[in-house]
Amino acid sequence: MQIGIPKELHPAERRVAMTPSACGKLVARGFSVVLEEGAGTSARFDDAAYLAAGATLADRATVYGTSDLVLQINPIDAADAALLRPGGRVACFWFGDLARDAATILRSKRATLLAYEKIPRTTVAQSFDVLSSMANVAGYRAVIEASNEIGSFLSLQMTAAGKVPPRKVLVIGAGVAGLAAIGAARALGADVRAFDTRPAVKEEVKSLGARFLELQFKESGDGGGGYAKTMSKEFIDAEMALFRAQAPELDVVITTALIPGRPAPKLWMADMVRAMKPGSVIVDMAAEQGGNCELTRPGERTDVGGVVILGYTDLASRMAGDASTFFANNMVHMLRHVSVAGEQGAIAFD
């Protein structure tokens, strides 16, 4: 079976779906791997390393036109869908109907698309859960970006030259990205507190050395399967009152709150931004879904009276080498679990 790896085309994308090391594992298992020339360059994997791992290099049209399964990160666009062979198969993030024109072409070619976000978040699928592995990288990177912006220690400093208190970090949403951010901020010595609507995460937050903020409000945010549900207006009002009280003392706010299939809930309002000290930072990890902060501009850095809001949507890509390594390892595990079968070449999980 031939696996095709194209170069990611989005201008802000530095990751690649396959690394030389993962490529070697696939080749050892009998797959052949065809990689677009230069596909790994922006993640610092050069063509020679892929060749040494047993891959062959080709142009983009050959990668799409001859492979049994194309693995990429970002949604396939219409131009690439047109290159895919009839009955071809592609795996990528898809996120619903973002690319309607590509969907029309794929349908006309009777192609099969495997959308990573549809991979069930079960124990058996954990090893190829790219949503989780990328959220983990992004959560860590959010802390690094915040630390870079505030330009000061996050940890307590007690030296002969002076004393600096630990910086105060609030993480909103303690899913995969939030827990990674809490872990990174704690590792850098920050004073971390977190809030989530699902009470089940309280112990996880505490085990990372952070404080779990609680509301005197009886409503569970557990929407089933570990995911959140939309909360009542009364709950959100109480949550915002909690945040309003926190805002003046915080140095960093990292927001990750999401509800599957819905725009991100607005939780950090303009008045809370203005209540923060100049020099403090908000990293809005929900920016791609509209943002948790009212003043976030997706993809941009915004300065609101000295408070910086980072709406970056490429956090995982900012650590392209490690992110690609995790992604490619996920792909190797996924290929162990999927079979390609049936008249139309459907992809099924074993």
Which residue of 55, 84, 174, 282 would you call a contact of ligand NAD, by CB under 6 A? Answer: 174
Question: What's the min distance (Å) between Cβ of 207 and ligand NAD?
Answer: 13
Contacts of 58 (CB under 8 A, 6+ apart): 34, 35, 36, 37, 66
By beta-carbon proximity to ligand NAD, the closer residue of 163 and 233 is 233
CA distance 282 to 181: 13
Question: What's the min distance (Å) between Cβ of 26 and ligand NAD?
Answer: 23
User: Is residue 180 within the footprint of ligand NAD (CB under 6 A)?
Assistant: no
Which residue of 8, 13, 129, 251 would you call a contact of ligand NAD, by CB under 6 A? Answer: 129
**Total residues interacting with ligand NAD, rule: CB under 6 A:** 31
Residue showing tokens 């860590």:
140
Instruction: Pick out residues in 183-222 that bind ligand NAD (CB under 6 A).
Output: 195-198, 221
| Catalytic annotation present for 121 | yes
Please give the backbone phi and psi of residue 113, each rounded to the nearest 5 degrees, phi first: -120, 130
Instruction: Pick out residues in 218-257 that bind ligand NAD (CB under 6 A).
Output: 221, 226-228, 231, 239, 256-257
CA distance 285 to 292: 8
Question: What's the min distance (Å) between Cβ of 235 and ligand NAD?
Answer: 8
CA distance 336 to 319: 26
Which residue of 4, 40, 173, 183 would you call a contact of ligand NAD, by CB under 6 A? Answer: 173
By beta-carbon proximity to ligand NAD, the closer residue of 40 and 183 is 183
Site of interaction with ligand NAD (CB under 6 A)? 121-123, 126, 129, 132, 135, 172-178, 195-198, 221, 226-228, 231, 239, 256-260, 265, 267
